Amino acid sequence: MSVSDMFAALQGALGLDQDIREEIRKVVQALEQTAREILTLLQGVHQGPGFQHIPKKCQKAREHFGTVRTQMESLKTKFPADQYYRFHEHWRFVLQRLVFLAAFVVYLESETLVTREAVAEILGIEADRERGFHLDIEDYLSGVLTLASELARLAVNSVTAGDYSRPLRISTFINELDSGFRLLNLKNDSLRKRYDGLKYDVKKIEEVVYDLSIRGLNKEATVGAGGEK
């Protein structure tokens, strides 16, 4: 094979690679738009009347995740199945955002931490990497850390809305989350940096709980803790 033939073949390979990346980019843009719509919907819970509409907002968000599943099915077809990590950077950010949104919905519904397997099911992908397009563990953990920051904000806004028991429950949840992360040996620099931010979320929520205690509102919160979430 001549040098010109060799480079012609290389150019063909480069062109094919660029075509794949362009097709992936188009689907990722659609996923990002759906993620923005879900986020906009869920941000309503931070407003005063928003707590009264949590079930309705969660139901609507789950309808949007139906669109996510359809878009994920399309994404799976845009690249060779055995080259997931070659193109992973293209959808990593939006996937982490979708993990956070799924985790936020589940927390609002049940005040529990969603499992990686459950998130994968919500998104219409696999939890096991051996089965194809899957939810990477680090992407799951990054989404959970974003949830912690969102709950710290929710704790503050709960007080503003007159819901004094919610910050106590959030505090318990975040401390359990922090204890769980302490069990992990995190080697990924980006994930480790994001985990370091969890201590600020814990501190922020502790300050909210302390303020409730100083104002004597924690007693009211404890009495009402057995009521409707």
State how far the Cα of 99 lies from the Cα of 30, in Å rounded to an integer: 16
Residue 23 assigned ligand-binding role: no
Q: What angle do CA 184, 108, 228 make, to 5 degrees?
A: 125
Which residues are within 8 A (CB) of 146 and not within 5 positions of it... i.e. 6 or more apart? Answer: 96, 97, 99, 100
* Residue 126 β-bridge partners: 134
Phi, then psi, of 61 in degrees rounded to 5: -65, -40
Nearest to 51 by CA among 160, 202, 191, 183: 160
Tokens of 201: 């979320």
Tokens of 66: 């139906």
Residue stretches of the annotated binding site: 150
Residue stretches of the annotated binding site for Mg(2+): 150
